[in-house]
Chain A
């Protein structure tokens, strides 16, 4: 392995553990506040921010145009038809939701495992979750065909006296995704409250102090409040952990409950969850690498974070690879003619190229290179890798949805799938929307949780023998 390449006197390495440091040494409470809060409280906005925001906003208008046209004309403007009745909408939905899962994994699961390195990347990973869920939620909403009737999905009393059908995984999805969106937003906001207090006290203008003051709900840092706050955070983490696993499990049920060859398998839930975390960590890297460069956050988001995220991607990538292998194995082992044909068609049929793109992007490139520590801490490499994995994970959903459907049981009903420009406009439009929302977040909210970083500083340690208080105990 590459461990021998690291020199022991390297200042990035913590001599106690031999790992990269989580935070660069030399931070005090004051400098942490200054570093993070001043990114937001500065009155000047860089031109680069405006340039990126304009690009994101411009791309986001595509989705507005595409959705308007969709509402006027109906889903016929998309490529969905028979036999491929589920197209880009479901692919993009699953892709975006999956991306969001890494945020919850970082904020909840790593909190429960007391992985302190998560603190630096927690806030913006959660923001990424929320914006990804916003983009994801758009697709089922517009995919229902008559979006003005989408409220039929909810068990609301109505004059028609009809009620939802609770045996369908598609309805389970409504509850899973709406709960996921709500809990993600609440968890994120709870985490922000004390930092809003800091922003209020640090704001230079009355207006900013007023807005952050309102958002902070008057937080004043009483230790009684902190105790309840910590309990609530821990409970929310404990609740979000089973939630995030259940969300992608339910999404995989949408497929697995159907009898279509290629969907009807029990490996789907774990394999979907691992794939979600895989793509989500890739997206965290896509966002974190430019962020830490442009805002000079290398001391807070260190090589340790990159290294660890690379390791998480490697692990989840291996689980995903196992899932692919098991799908192929079961197609043969099931001795089902239809399963066997589906797998052969998926690999070597007219759309076989998409399967090999997926194998290349998700298995061949990342799972051979991410083993090397030196590469895991090379920012250019990791950035390119994150884009490759996100592409690969999009193709995974494309392969699952399209190549399972386009050649079904009866050769006379075989068809193909070719996305229309409206499909592409909606898809790329959501990427613009995501970029624009994320840039707003970076500009107006503290992107790294200040109070959680302060907890990790050496000066936060309670020492028994600091200067003794005179008169104590008399």
Chain B
């Protein structure tokens, strides 16, 4: 069941109220990031940062050990009498790979945690969703999986919040 709101403030207030009334299986859909709406539905922590850190450390270790292995064991070369394990020179590629792996982890981690790509979603069936959710309208979705859900009661509940419209979405 989705309710369409005209302004982000209306959406945030509705989301806060629904969360306060015990709704949990819910989501908001907005054309640009509205942090307040995420807070309103109790979503604070995301694991993107952790993934990025892990990725960065993996890149660092991978490149530094690769360089060490190549330069000391696999293919030792005498470059102007420098030690084979000349670690200061290894910092630069290791640094670049830290950034490379961390960046790829951040981007692909974000996409994966969001469950994308998912080219189909039931909400796309709602008649007004695709005209507004990525343009200028703000949606609050209360899902049928929530124990508080019942078709007529939820509709009345959402309509009491002053939306433009309330639509039931098949899925």
Binding site for B on A (CB under 8 A): 28-30, 33, 155, 161-167, 169, 171-172, 175-176, 179, 182-183, 186-187, 189-190, 193-194, 197-198, 200-202, 213-214, 217-232, 235-236, 239-240, 242-243, 246, 250, 253, 450-452, 454-455, 459-464, 466-474
Shortest CB-to-CB span from A181 to chain B, Å, is 10
Tell me the complex Cα distance, A202–B162, Å: 27
Across the interface, name the chain B residue whose C-beta is closest to A229. B110
Pairs A–B under 8 Å by Cβ, sample size 25: A30-B135, A155-B70, A163-B70, A182-B100, A189-B107, A190-B107, A194-B32, A217-B116, A218-B116, A218-B119, A222-B114, A226-B38, A231-B110, A235-B103, A236-B106, A239-B52, A239-B56, A246-B92, A459-B7, A462-B12, A464-B9, A466-B10, A469-B13, A469-B161, A474-B21
Partner of A235 from the list B20, B37, B48, B114 (CB cut-off 8 Å) is B48
Q: How far is the CA of A281 from the CA of B143 in the complex (A)?
A: 48
Residue of B nearest to A222 (CB): B27
Q: Are B135 and A202 in contact (CB under 8 A)?
A: yes
Judge whether B33 and A455 touch: CB under 8 Å.
Answer: yes
Task: Contact check, A30 vs B136: say whether CB atoms are below 8 A apart.
Answer: yes
The reply to whether B106 and A235 contact each other, CB–CB distance below 8 Å, is: yes
Q: Which residues of B contact A (CB under 8 A)?
A: 7-10, 12-14, 16-17, 20-21, 27-38, 41, 43, 46, 48-49, 52, 56, 63, 66-67, 70-71, 74-75, 77, 79, 82, 86, 89-90, 92-93, 95-97, 99-100, 102-104, 106-107, 109-111, 113-114, 116-121, 123-124, 129-131, 133-136, 157, 160-162
A62 to chain B, nearest CB (A): 32
Q: How far is the CA of A182 from the CA of B108 in the complex (A)?
A: 13
Given the complex, which residues of B lie within 8 Å of A161, measured CB to CB? 74-75
Q: Are B123 and A220 in contact, CB atoms less than 8 angstroms apart?
A: yes
The 5 A-B residue pairs with the shortest CB-CB distance, nearest first, are: A29-B136, A472-B17, A232-B110, A217-B117, A471-B160
Cα(A227)–Cα(B47), bound, Å: 10
Name the one of A166, A221, A240, A461 contacting B133, with C-beta atoms under 8 angstroms: A221
Chain B residues near A472 (CB, 8 Å)?
A: 13-14, 16-17, 20, 161
- Compute how far the CA of A241 lies from the CA of B17 in the bound complex, rounded to whole angstroms: 40
